[in-house]
Structures are given as C-alpha cells and as structure tokens.
C-alpha cells in the first residue's frame, strides 16, 4: 500500500517549530524594523552572513536610522562599506535612503521595487519580515530547498516554478494561521543550516517527509549546475607615488569600472608634473577576481623627493592608512604592498623589482 503523503500544512508547522529552536541569533533579527531588515538584506546580497555581521553592526552604529543615512556624505557611506564588495549596492542604498527619508517606508511590493537596488527578493523579504505581510521570497538558500524538494531540472520555467512554490508556501502559511515572517526566515535558515550546498543534513530537515531528493537520494544533484560565464581577463597599470614619510597618494578614483565607482584607488596614469622629482623604486603585480573578471594589476612605485611641488589638494590625498577612506579590495592589496615595498636608494631610473601574488 502507498502511504498517505504528509500534508504540506504539517510540514510548515514543523518548519516553524524547527526555526523556533534552531534559528541563529543575528543582529537584524533582534530588532526587525523596516530600516534594519532593509540594510541587512542589501548587505546579504551575494555575501555570506558571517561576513555581513560586523559590517551591519558598524553601519547601524554610525547610521542608526534612515535620516542619518540620507544625510551622510556618499564617501562616508562607501568607507563603511569598504571590503564588503559590490559597491553599487552602497550607492543605491544611499540613493534609496534619501527617497525613504522623504516618503517613508513603503507598504507594497511595487513601491519597494521602484527603489534603487531593490528587486523582487529584497522587496518580499522586507515586507514579510518587517511588516509580516504574506509576500513570497526566493533567495539562493530557498532555491536550493525547493529544487531538492521537487527535484526541479534546469529549464526555461525553472525560476517561475521556484516562485510558484514560494507563493504556495506563503498562501498555506496564511491559511493555517502561521506568520509569513517566521516561515520565510525559516526557509532561508533551513537552506543555510540544513539543506546546505554540500552534505545536507536530510535527517534533521522538517520538510524531509515530502522531499523528492531525499527519497531518491539525489540531493547532491540539485540545484543542477548552470554553465558559468567565461572569465574575462583584464590587465591594468596603476601608479603608486610615495613620500619620504611613507604616505601614498590616493586621490579619488578615476576608474570607471562599475564595481569601483566612488571608491579611492591609485591613478591609472602618471603625474607629469612630478616627473622630475621621482625615482622609480620598482613594480609588483597583484591578481584580483571580481564576479567573472580576473584582473592582473601592475603597480609601479615612485618615491617623491622632498622638493616635489604639491598643491594643497594633492598633499591632502597622501595617506598613511585606509581607515577613513572608501576603498576596494584591489586598492587595499596595492596599498599594503606599496607601504612595505623597499624604498629606492638607486640613481634615478634604476629598477628594483619585487613581485607580490
């Protein structure tokens, strides 16, 4: 005889109970206001929880509400974001804060999705978690849960089928009197802690009784692998100017690549005014990976003499550390190597070479 399937409503009740016992203590969960949930969800885009926590805490300490964020200088916002990557998120966050400070936090998906940097997932997450509205969400963790739950193959309808499952789950959540906020967070938490990419703990999963991948022992096959975009190899040369006291010249970036806009970085061309006052100390290479780009950077080090004519603006751009400046990972690696690179004692034009990987 075929056994009677466990009702989906029973699975949702089990999922909610599991979350009540197993949920991680996270700073945005302790006070799930619309502002804090929105900030956390933007930071969590393409970034793991462990990396986000210290950034979130510093950000909220500095900008405790949307008014403080809206009034902030863009460079200050980018400074606090430095190291988290994908800087367009920070720029869009700042733009959206100015709108929210004027209009208040929206109550509909359409209004949320009209904000810079907010897509269907983020809109649903804020509405369901902060406002407990019955809005479906779909992130990488939930995708993994549903793709295994139904053994979904990659196809043109794959994403829509995932969204259908999320919408069905929220509809059932409301029907049986559970909270959308809890169920959506539980689904994400399940994907992070139990239905992991590798070595899922199927025996601990509250959805296991109806999970096709568990019954077929094929969890490792889902989600099916998508073909990754080919890496694009890029090269660039930057110029590192160093004063006798060790400070490096770091003017506002002229790099127009979208992942670096608004951050500080080393210039892509020489300063012709200083040509008669520098000695070439050497060069090094660093390698950086940003999404599907592999960037090989050559940094040329020049030591400036104490007689170098500097304008007030140029003088102000020489810095000893990156603490209070918005910077990207490539800049940070170049800066660390530039600070420690041996100073030249050779005649002008003689090369000292050192390589950093």
Which residues are known catalytic residues?
41
DSSP of 263-294 = SB---SS--GGGGGGEEEEEEEEEEEEETTEE
How many residues are given for the chain? 357
The H-or-E segment that residue 93 falls in is: helix 88-103
With beta carbons less than 8 A apart as the criterion, state whether 222 and 143 touch: no
Asked if 280 and 295 touch (Cβ cutoff 8 Å), the reply is: no
- The span from the CA of 206 to the CA of 215, in Å, is 14
**CA-CA distance, 261 to 317, in Å (whole number)?**
17
The candidate with the shortest Cα–Cα distance to 220, out of 140, 144, 141, 138, is 144
Burial 246-267 (b: 16+ CB within 10 A, else e): ebbbbbebebeeebbebbbbbb
Encoding tokens for residue 64?
């405790």
């Amino acid at each position: 005889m075929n056994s009677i399937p466990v009702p989906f409503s029973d699975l949702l009740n089990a999922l909610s109970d599991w979350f009540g016992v197993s949920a991680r203590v996270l700073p945005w969960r302790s006070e799930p206001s619309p502002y804090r949930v929105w900030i956390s969800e933007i930071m969590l885009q393409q970034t793991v929880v462990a990396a986000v926590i210290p950034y979130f805490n510093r950000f909220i300490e500095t900008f405790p509400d949307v008014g403080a964020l809206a009034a902030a200088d863009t460079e200050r916002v980018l400074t606090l974001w430095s190291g988290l990557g994908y800087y367009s998120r920070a720029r869009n966050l700042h733009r959206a804060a100015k709108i929210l400070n004027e209009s208040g936090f929206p109550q509909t998906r359409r209004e949320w999705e009209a904000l810079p940097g907010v897509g269907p997932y983020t809109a649903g997450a804020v509405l369901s978690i902060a406002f407990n509205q019955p809005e479906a969400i779909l992130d990488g963790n939930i995708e993994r849960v549903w793709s295994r739950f139904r053994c979904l193959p990659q196809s043109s309808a794959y994403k829509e089928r995932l969204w259908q499952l999320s919408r069905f789950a929220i509809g059932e959540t409301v029907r049986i009197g559970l909270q959308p906020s809890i169920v959506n967070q539980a689904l994400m938490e399940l994907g992070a802690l139990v239905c992991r990419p590798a070595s899922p703990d199927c025996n601990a999963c509250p959805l296991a009784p109806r999970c096709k991948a568990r019954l077929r022992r094929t969890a490792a096959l889902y989600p099916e692998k998508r073909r990754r975009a080919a890496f694009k190899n890029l090269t660039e040369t930057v110029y590192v100017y160093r004063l006798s006291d060790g400070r490096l010249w770091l003017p506002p970036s002229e790099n127009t690549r979208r992942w670096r806009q608004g951050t500080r970085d080393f210039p892509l061309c020489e300063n012709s005014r200083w040509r008669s006052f520098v000695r070439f100390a050497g060069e090094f290479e660093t390698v950086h990976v940003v999404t599907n780009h592999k960037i090989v950077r050559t940094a040329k080090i020049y030591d400036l003499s104490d007689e170098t004519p500097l304008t007030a603006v140029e003088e102000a751009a020489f810095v000893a550390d990156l603490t209070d400046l918005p910077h990207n990972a490539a800049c940070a690696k170049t800066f660390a190597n530039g600070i420690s690179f041996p100073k030249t004692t050779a005649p002008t034009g003689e090369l000292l070479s050192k390589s950093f990987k």
